[in-house]
Amino acid sequence: MNPNQGWPQQPHPGAPQQYQGQPPLGGAYPQQYPGQPAAGPIPGPIPGQYAGQPGMPGMPPQYPGSPRKAGAAAAVVAGLLFLPIVIYTFVAAILSWEGRPPSIHIGASVLGAAVSGHITRNIDFAITISMIIASLVLVLALVQVFRVPGVRWGLVALGAVCTVYYTYATIRILSHGGGEFVIMPLVCVLLWLVPTIVAALPAVGRASRRTGPPRPGLAPPPARWG
């Protein structure tokens, strides 16, 4: 006598029992209920990913609008470019300390020498100005290397004033027939002009802020409690 007679839906003895709605045995496809989306890749953003955020598997989530780190190279270079002219200004002032520069070329390149005769009748004013300006620019340049915001504008202002002075000094020397003595003032013009332009670049300002501006058009990250 067949033990399964009268029970057409009962499985063969020893076979795994299968109920209605259960997927076929063997793992052909996962169980799917009415109203459940079809199995496959999840469309749209990955869970934990916000609109506009690029999906990067294996990377920590980056929320839109979060600040981006700016490179520090531009801020460091902007500060270091002032060191050559600062060193030369110190050297020229020290060599002319006694009021007798070793050569006319050195004397003509002392900061303020072109107007010192109208103020103190000697080079003392130029030496004093050189030491003050060189010391101030040195401090600002070293602070700029550490990417302190706003310092670059002090360097830009001092650099622009010194560039204008050496341009005036070059024109004044040429107008008095001293064309052979304008070499060092022209070199000083370049040594002041180049770092001043670099310090005024927007890239230096972004690098000095330590963090970049938020990206426009994206929502800020959600608030976290606790």
- In DSSP terms, which residues pair with 69 in a beta bridge? 211
> How many angstroms separate the CA atoms of 146 and 75, rounded?
8
Q: What is the percentage of the chain residues whose pLDDT exceeds 90?
A: 39
Contact by Cβ (8 Å): 195, 82: yes
Q: Check residues 209 and 219 and name the one with the higher pLDDT.
A: 209
How many degrees, rounded to 5, is the angle at CA 214 between CA 212 and CA 219? 160
Which residues, other chains included, contact 202 with Cβ-Cβ below 8 Å and sequence gap of 6+?
none
The answer to the question of residue 202 being in a domain is: yes
CA–CA–CA angle 164, 150, 207 (5° rounding): 105
Q: Which residue in this structure is represented by tokens 């070329």?
A: 105
> Residue 37: pLDDT above 70?
no
Total domain count, the chain: 1
pLDDT at 116: 79
Pairwise CA distance, residues 128 & 24, whole Å: 95
The pLDDT of residue 66: 42
The reply to whether 60 falls in a domain is: no
Determine the pLDDT at residue 180.
Answer: 84
Residue 6 placed within a domain? no
Tell me whether residue 224 is in a domain. no
pTM comes to: 0.61
Least confident piece of the model among 3-7, 55-59, 63-67: 63-67
Domain that holds residue 135: 73-208
With a pLDDT cut of 70, the percent of the chain lying above it is 61
C-alpha–C-alpha distance, residues 137 and 111, integer Å: 13
Indicate whether 148 belongs to any domain: yes
**Residue at 59 is within a domain:** no
Q: What are phi and psi of 69, to 5 degrees?
A: -70, 130
Q: Is residue 114 part of a domain?
A: yes
- Residue 77 counted as domain residue: yes
As a whole number of angstroms, the distance between CA 68 and CA 55 comes to 17
Average pLDDT, integer, range 144-151: 90
Average pLDDT value for the chain:
76
Check residue 176 and give its pLDDT.
84
Write the DSSP string, the chain: --TTTT-TTSPPTTSPP--TTPPPTTSSS----TTPPPSSSPPSSPTT--TTPPP-TTS----TT---BPPSHHHHHHHHTTHHHHHHHHHHHHHTTTS--SSHHHHHTSTTHHHHHHHTSSSHHHHHHHHHHHHHHHHHHHHHHTT-TTHHHHHHHHHHHHHHHHHHHHHHHHHTT-GGG-HHHHHHHHHHHHHHHHHTSHHHHHHHTSBPPPPTTSPPPPP---
Instruction: Rank 13-22, 101-110, 182-191 by mean pLDDT and report only the highest.
Output: 182-191
Q: What is the mean pLDDT of residues 29-43?
A: 56
Rounded to 10 degrees, the C-alpha dihedral 35/36/37/42 comes to 140
